[in-house]
Amino acid sequence: MAGDLAQGEAVGGRIPVAVYVLGLSVFALGTSEFMLSGILQPLARDLGVSIPQAGLLVSAFAVGMVVGAPVLAAATLRLPRRTTLIALLAAFVLGHVVGALAPTYEVLFVSRIVSALACAGFWAVGSAVAVSLVPENARARAMAIMVGGLGVANVAGVPAGSFLGQQAGWRAAFWAVAALAALAVVGVLASVPDTPVPTGAHAPDLRRELRIYRDKQVWLALVTIALNAGAVFALFSYLAPLLTEVAGLPESWVPSVLALFGLGGLIGTVIGGRIADAHLFGTMYGGISASTAVLTALALLAEYRWAAIALALMLGVTAFTTGPALNARMFNAADAAPTLAGATATASFNIGNTVGPWVGGLAISAGWGYAAVAWVGAAMAAAAVLTTAVSSRVHARSRLVTASAGPGLRSVPGATAPGATAPAATDVTGGAGAGGRRPGD
């Protein structure tokens, strides 16, 4: 089936089967990242901690992702990418075995950080591999396939993990994820090309890649991604207790609602992957604005069970519609440093995944109730709309500057705006970056 999928046409070229395998690998990673939402209550009871304290395990994973993405991307810059992906998946498996055997909350906390470091490295390197295997104007679709692994995880993996956790104990869910990640190792071995590390003028250069951080467009992309992710995770991390304590749903319904959120995420990923390459900023505006509206509605209507269920589905759609566009925007803004672009995008998402649950937990601990996390999410999403507007304005201004400089402009980090037309530009990394319109025009 993967081979058939690989024959599908991307925008401007074919999508290799390796990209789909990377997406399936993300299914295992995403199941782990999201499944705590469905097993938070039994886990807290078993380890003798409060719900907000158990929620910090989500933040621990996100902190590991924030730190791990840039550090591991830099540390493995000169290593063969397939070997790096396999090593990171193996470390992820080990982290979940330790988590499944953890005797205390503290051991589980450390195991989540270790697993997150491996997950972050895989996302950073895997994103760079996926983007390198497709034409520039198919980047959003390639990233949609990887992000689609998260959508499938939320449709199947997270509800299954939640059900397994409720029926056989939360540790069984960790064992299941370890098995999934072991299968992912086999898939990467079989499909990802064993490409040699570039040498000479095209060799990876950390100092050159670090120059992307001089570009304010990279920072705007980082802040927008973080705010959008924080908005979603402020709510999603506490969705189970919100459904049971506020909407009055029985705990047995939680896996089904999580599956609906995941179904919405899968739908949103497909939509975003199809439209983001042609309408990058439009997809960002539309998706983040819709998430703001959905979170506001959920804050107002959380006590009505059917409204809460329907809005959980809608939030999945709106949140994941923006994912491919946000990833592609970061790769375009940091075009001269594809490895650090993937790492920065991963870190950005997980800065939001760290801050969102933390602020949501503060709202709960302050006695404002579980519905307050939806207000926290709505405020963060509204801020992301504003940063998108600023980013769009800076992008348009940079295009005007580049156009006025003429076709002889040499492309250096920050010199050629993503989306600009520079027919004669030469990318200093040796990649085929300039020479046409990019996504976001």
Rounded Cα distance between 152 and 27, Å, is 6
Interval 70-92: pLDDT, tens:
888 777 777 888 888 999 999 99
Residue 422 placed within a domain: no
pLDDT given for residue 199 in this prediction: 61
CATH number for position 330: 1.20.1250.20
Q: Calculate mean pLDDT across residues 296-316.
A: 91
Residue 148 placed within a domain: yes
pLDDT given for residue 429 in this prediction: 30
| Total domains in the fold of the chain | 1
Q: Check residues 372 and 428 and name the one with the higher pLDDT.
A: 372
Q: What band does 311 get if pLDDT is binned at 50, 70 and 90?
A: very high
Rounded Cα distance between 378 and 320, Å, is 16
Q: Check residues 362 and 6 and name the one with the higher pLDDT.
A: 362
Q: What is the DSSP letter of 251?
A: G
Q: Calculate mean pLDDT across residues 155-167.
A: 78
Q: What band does 2 get if pLDDT is binned at 50, 70 and 90?
A: very low
Give yes or no for a contact between 356 and 229, defined as CB atoms under 8 angstroms apart.
yes
pLDDT given for residue 376 in this prediction: 94
354: pLDDT strictly greater than 70: yes
Share of the chain above pLDDT 70, in %: 83
Residue 198 placed within a domain: no
> What is the largest distance, in Å, between two alpha-carbon atoms of the chain?
65
Residue 186 placed within a domain: yes
pLDDT given for residue 432 in this prediction: 31
Q: Check residues 12 and 243 and name the one with the higher pLDDT.
A: 243
Out of 9-13, 119-123, 140-144, 303-307, least confident range:
9-13
Q: What is the DSSP string of 96-154?
A: HHHHHH--SHHHHHHHHHHHHHHHHHHHHHHHHHHHHTS-GGGHHHHHHHHHHHHHHII
pLDDT given for residue 208 in this prediction: 73
Give pTM, 2 decimals.
Answer: 0.67
Q: Calculate mean pLDDT across residues 150-171.
A: 79
Interval 194-238: pLDDT, tens:
766 666 555 666 777 777 778 888 888 889 999 999 999 888 888
Residue 426 placed within a domain: no
10: pLDDT strictly greater than 60: no
295: pLDDT strictly greater than 90: yes
pLDDT given for residue 439 in this prediction: 37
Residue 226 placed within a domain: yes
Q: Check residues 238 and 153 and name the one with the higher pLDDT.
A: 238
Give yes or no for a contact between 230 and 359, defined as CB atoms under 8 angstroms apart.
yes
Q: What band does 421 get if pLDDT is binned at 50, 70 and 90?
A: very low
Residue 36 placed within a domain: yes
Burial (CB < 10 A; 0-12, 13-18, 19+), residue 1, is exposed
Q: Check residues 175 and 147 and name the one with the higher pLDDT.
A: 175
What mean pLDDT value characterizes the chain?
A: 78
Out of 131-135, 151-155, 335-339, least confident range:
335-339
Q: Which two tokens stand for residue 305?
A: 């069970």
Domain of 392 in residue numbering reads as 16-193+206-404
Burial (CB < 10 A; 0-12, 13-18, 19+), residue 156, is middle
Residue 247 placed within a domain: yes
Q: What band does 30 get if pLDDT is binned at 50, 70 and 90?
A: confident
pLDDT given for residue 423 in this prediction: 31
